[in-house]
C-alpha cells in the first residue's frame, strides 16, 4: 500500500493525498500524524497543489503506520518566498539524505530509501528553515537491500543516545533510493550471541538474490562470558562462516568487514591494536572462502593516526560536562562514535565498496 501526504494550512488536499496540518497529532487508530505538534506550524503561499503550502517542523517527528519492508520515499520541500534548509532522518536517528537547501521559489524533490521494521515509519525533520510540502511513501520490492550484521559500532543509536552513532546509522545517506540499508546490528553482540538470539535468522528471512550482507564483529567476541566469547582460530571462524553460508543460500553477496579500531594510542601517537588475532582471522577467512573484504581496521588505523589523540576526540564519543544533554556529566568513550565519527567511518565503508568493485552498489552511490 502506498501513502501520499499533502502538508500545509487548511483542509483541502491534492487529489489522492491526505492532508496533514500542523495540528495533526498521531493517533494509533488513524495511523499517521506528528508525534508532538508543539514545534510545528503551517503556512500557505499560493494556490498551487502540493507546493503552495507547507508545514514547518522544527525538530518534529512524523509517524505513519506501514507494513515492514522497503519503501521509496519522495519528499517535496521548498518555499515560494524564502530560502529553506531541511534535514531528514528516518526511524529515529538514521541519516537518509544530505541537508537540503533551496532558494526562494525553488522546490526540491528528493527520493530516498527506508527499510522499515516494527510496523512504523518515523521521519525526523530539522534544519535552520525546514519545510515539508509533501511526502510520497511507496513500497518497493525492486531495491537492493544492504543488510548489516554487527555490534554497537555499526548499530542505529536511539534518540536518547545522541550524538552516539554507529557507522551503519548514517550509511543510507551515501546511497540513492535504489539501495535500502537494513541495519540489524545490535550493541553488545558477538558473532555467537547475534546468531543465538535469532538475529541472523531474521536477516535470512528477508534476504533475496542480489542483496548484500556486510558482517562486522570482533569487539564482543573478545569478551570472556560464555554467551559471547569465541576463539579467533576456531569458533570465531565457525560462526563467521554461518553468515557467509546464509548469504550464499539466498544468492546474496557476503562481505566481511574487519573490526574498526578503538581509540588507544601509545606515547609516540601510534594506534594500539586491541583486536589482535581477530583481525587476521577475518582476512584469512575471506581469502579461503573467496569473500570480498573491507579492511576497516587498516582504514580506521590510518584515519585515527592522521587525526591523532586530540583530533580523534571529535570522532569518538568524547564530550565535556554540559556539552550534550544526554551526557550531562561528560563522557570519555574510546570505542563508540559521535555523529561526525559515524560519518567518517561510513565514508571508509564506501571507499571499500569502490575498492572491491561492488558494481551493483557503486552504481547507486550518491
70 and 163 together in one domain? no
Report the domain count for the chain.
2
CATH number at residue 103: 2.60.120.430
Q: Are residues 81 and 229 in the same domain?
A: no
Which residue pairs, CB below 8 angstroms and at least 24 apart, start in 202-209? 203/147, 203/149, 203/246, 204/246, 204/249, 204/250, 206/145, 206/147, 206/182, 207/145, 207/147, 207/246, 207/247, 207/250, 207/252, 208/145, 208/250, 208/251, 208/252, 209/250, 209/251, 209/252
- Record the pTM: 0.94
Residue 158's pLDDT is what? 81
Q: Are residues 64 and 187 in the same domain?
A: no
* pLDDT string in tens for the chain (366-residue length): 999 999 999 888 999 999 999 999 999 999 999 999 999 999 999 989 899 999 999 999 999 999 999 999 999 999 999 999 999 999 756 889 889 999 999 999 999 999 999 999 999 999 999 999 999 999 999 999 999 999 999 999 887 788 999 999 999 999 999 999 999 999 999 999 999 999 999 999 999 999 999 999 999 999 999 999 999 999 999 999 999 999 999 999 999 999 999 999 999 999 999 999 999 999 999 999 999 999 999 999 999 999 999 999 999 999 999 999 999 999 999 999 999 999 999 999 999 999 999 999 999 999
Assign 9 to helix, strand or coil: coil
| 340 and 357 housed in the same domain | yes
The 8-class DSSP code of residue 208 comes to -
pLDDT of residue 162: 85
Cα–Cα dist 44/13, whole Å: 12
Q: Do residues 172 and 192 both lie within one domain?
A: yes
Between CA 239 and CA 189 the distance in angstroms is 13
* Domain that residue 337 falls in: 144-362
Residue after which a domain boundary falls, among 114, 139, 164: 139
- Residue that is last in its domain, among 121, 139, 157: 139
Q: How far apart are CA 28 and CA 21, in angstroms?
A: 17
* CB-based contact 84:129 (threshold 8 Å): yes
Same structural domain, 99 and 174: no
- Whether residues 178 and 208 fall in one domain: yes
Contact (CB, 8 A) for 282 and 221: no
Identify whether residues 116 and 98 lie together within a single domain.
Answer: yes
Q: At what angle do helices 296-311 and 339-355 cross, to 10 degrees?
A: 150
pLDDT of residue 92: 57
Together in a domain, 215 and 95: no
**179 and 31 belong to one structural domain:** no
Domain boundary among 139, 167, 198: 139
Residue 333: what are its φ and ψ, rounded to 5°?
Answer: -115, 115
Residue 21 shares a structural domain with residue 151? no
Same domain, 212 and 340: yes
CATH classification of the domain holding 263: 3.40.50.1110
Amino acid at each position: 500500500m502506498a501513502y501520499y501526504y499533502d502538508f500545509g494550512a487548511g483542509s483541502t488536499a491534492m487529489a489522492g493525498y491526505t492532508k496533514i496540518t500542523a495540528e495533526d497529532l498521531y493517533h494509533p487508530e488513524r495511523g499517521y500524524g506528528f508525534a508532538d505538534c508543539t514545534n510545528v506550524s503551517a503556512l500557505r503561499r499560493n494556490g498551487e497543489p502540493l507546493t503552495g503550502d507547507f508545514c514547518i517542523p522544527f525538530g518534529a517527528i512524523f509517524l505513519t503506520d506501514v507494513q515492514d519492508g522497503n519503501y521509496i520515499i519522495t519528499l517535496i520541500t521548498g518555499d515560494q518566498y524564502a530560502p529553506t534548509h531541511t534535514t531528514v532522518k528516518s526511524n529515529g536517528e538514521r541519516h537518509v539524505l544530505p541537508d537540503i537547501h533551496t532558494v526562494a521559489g525553488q522546490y526540491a524533490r528528493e527520493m530516498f530509501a527506508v527499510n522499515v521494521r516494527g510496523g512504523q515509519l518515523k521521519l525526523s525533520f530539522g534544519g535552520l528553515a525546514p519545510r515539508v510540502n509533501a511526502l510520497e511513501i511507496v513500497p518497493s520490492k525492486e531495491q537492493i537491500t544492504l543488510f548489516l550484521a554487527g555490534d554497537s559500532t555499526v548499530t542505529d543509536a536511539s534518540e536518547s543516545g545522541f550524538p552516539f552513532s554507529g557507522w551503519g546509522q548514517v550509511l543510507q545517506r551515501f546511497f540513492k533510493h535504489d539501495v535500502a540499508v537494513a541495519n540489524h546490528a545490535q550493541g553488545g553482540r558477538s558473532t555467537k550471541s547475534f546468531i543465538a538470539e535469532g538475529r541472523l535468522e531474521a536477516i535470512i528471512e528477508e534476504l533475496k538474490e542480489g542483496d548484500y550482507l556486510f558482517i562486522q564483529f570482533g569487539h564482543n567476541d573478545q569478551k570472556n562470558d560464555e554467551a559471547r566469547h569465541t576463539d579467533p582460530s576456531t569458533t570465531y571462524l565457525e560462526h563467521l562462516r554461518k553468515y557467509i553460508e546464509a548469504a550464499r543460500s539466498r544468492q546474496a553477496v557476503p562481505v566481511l568487514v574487519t573490526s574498526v579500531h578503538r581509540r588507544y594510542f601509545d606515547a609516540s601517537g601510534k594506534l594500539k591494536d586491541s583486536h589482535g588475532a581477530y583481525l587476521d582471522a577475518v582476512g584469512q577467512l575471506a581469502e579461503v572462502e573467496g569473500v570480498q573484504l573491507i579492511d576497516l581496521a587498516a582504514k580506521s588505523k590510518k584515519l585515527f593516526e592522521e587525526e591523532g589523540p586530540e583530533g580523534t576526540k571529535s570522532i569518538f564519543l568524547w564530550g565535556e560536562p554540559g556539552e550534550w544533554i544526554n551526557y550531562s556529566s561528560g563522557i570519555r568513550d574510546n570505542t563508540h562514535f559521535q555523529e561526525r565519527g559515524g560519518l567518517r567511518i561510513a565514508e571508509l565503508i564506501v571507499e571499500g565498496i569502490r575498492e572491491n568493485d561492488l558494481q551493483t552498489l557503486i552504481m547507486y552511490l550518491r
